Amino acid sequence: MAKVIFITQQDESIEVEGDGGSLMELATANGITGIDGDCGGVCSCATCHVYVATEDAHKLAAAEEVETDMLELDDKVTEYSRLCCQIAVSDSIDGMTFVVAN
C-alpha cells in the first residue's frame, strides 16, 4: 500500500493511498483537481502532468522516450515533470509528493 500526497493548483494538500494501477488512476479515482487523464493512461495527452518533489525525484526511474516526447508539448515542463499515467502505484512511491501542473 502506497500513500502519496498531491498538491493541487489551489495549494490544497490531499493524501491518497492505493495498492496498484497508475498514479493517474489513483488521482482520478480520488477526484484530484487538474488530473484529467483524458487518454485513459496511454501517454498521449499530458492531462496528468505533475511535478515530482525535488527530494523525491531520485526514487523514480527515468521517463521513457514516449513520455518525454509528450511532455515536450507542454509549456510548463521542468526537469521534475512527469506524466502520472506512467508512474506505477507501488511501495517505491510511498510517501512521495506530487504537484499538479495543470
User: For position 31, which CATH number holds?
Assistant: 3.10.20.30
How many domains does the chain contain in total?
Answer: 1
* CB-CB contact of 81 with 71 (8 Å): yes
Q: CA 33, CA 73: separation in Å to the nearest integer?
A: 21
Instruction: Find the domain containing 32 and state its range.
Output: 2-100
pTM of the predicted model as reported, rounded to 2 decimal places: 0.94
**Mind listing the pLDDT tens digit for each residue in 9-30?**
999 999 999 999 999 999 999 9
> What mean pLDDT, rounded, does the chain reach?
95
